[in-house]
Structure 1
Amino acid sequence: MKKILLVCAAGMSTSLLVNKMKDEASQQGINVEIKAVAKEKLAENIEGAHVVLLGPQIGYLEDDFKEAYSDLQIPIRVINSIDYGMMNGKKILAEAL
């Protein structure tokens, strides 16, 4: 099972997106774990993640996170701000996978 971790400033704004991604995964029959956490909680949640997606509001931390977790070789990307704003769970799920 793939584990997708969404990270934002407080872990709250991504909650709706997580639900939309889970709904889409369910509709497609994809077995995936998707979780949202605050940026301060990344260290305790990154273990086992297959990809980390950052909310656009913390995109400025992308390089810092890539450097801090480079030994884990987990892709870390910023979610496209338009897709994030539109809560496009289908597109973001597809990109994560």
Structure 2
Amino acid sequence: MRKIVLLCNGGLSTGILVKKMKAAAEAAAYECEISAAPVSSAEETGRDADLILMGPQVRFQMGTVSRQVTCPVYSIEPVAYGTMNGEKVLEQVRKELGD
């Protein structure tokens, strides 16, 4: 089972996206655990993650987060984030992980 962590300023806006991604994952029978957290907790929350996705508003911190974790770190595509398109973001996850 894959573990995906979404990071943003406070973890609130990504919380909505997480719900939509979970629904898309269930519909696709893709086994994963998806959570949202503030970027300030990246080192702790990303410790055992398979992939971290960062909200567009915090993507400038990708270098810092990448140095704190061992998994890949990517930015969520701004249009998919802005429209809260969980299916599209899950598609990005699967592509990046090779699933």
TM-score of the two chains, using structure 2 as the length reference = 0.90
Counterpart AA for 1:26: E
1:76 is aligned, of 73, 78, 93, to 73
| Structure 1 unaligned residues grouped into runs of 5+ | none
Which of 85, 88, 93 is the aligned partner of 2:90? 93
In the alignment, the residues of structure 2 paired with residue 95 and residue 5 of structure 1 have an alpha-carbon distance, to the nearest angstrom, of: 13
Q: 1:15-37, CA deviations, whole angstroms, 9 ceiling, x for partnerless residues?
A: 11000000000111111100000
What percent of counterpart residues are identical?
34
Residue type of the alignment partner of 1:87:
M
Matching residue of 1:48: 48
| Count of paired positions | 94
Distance 2:65 2:44 in 1: 13
Match of 2:7 in 1: 7
User: Secondary structure of 2:74's partner?
Assistant: strand
Structure-2 change in CA distance of 1:41 and 1:68 (3 Å): closer
Q: Summarize the alignment of residues 23-62 of structure 1 with structure 2, pairs less than 5 Å apart.
A: 23-62=23-62
- How many Å apart are 1:67 and its aligned residue? 2.5
Aligned structure 1 segments of 4 or more residues deviating by more than 2 angstroms? none
Secondary structure in 1 aligned to 2:89?
A: helix
| CA–CA distance in structure 2, aligned partners of residues 65 and 48 of structure 1 | 14
**Runs of 5+ consecutive residues of structure 2 not aligned to the other structure:** 95-99
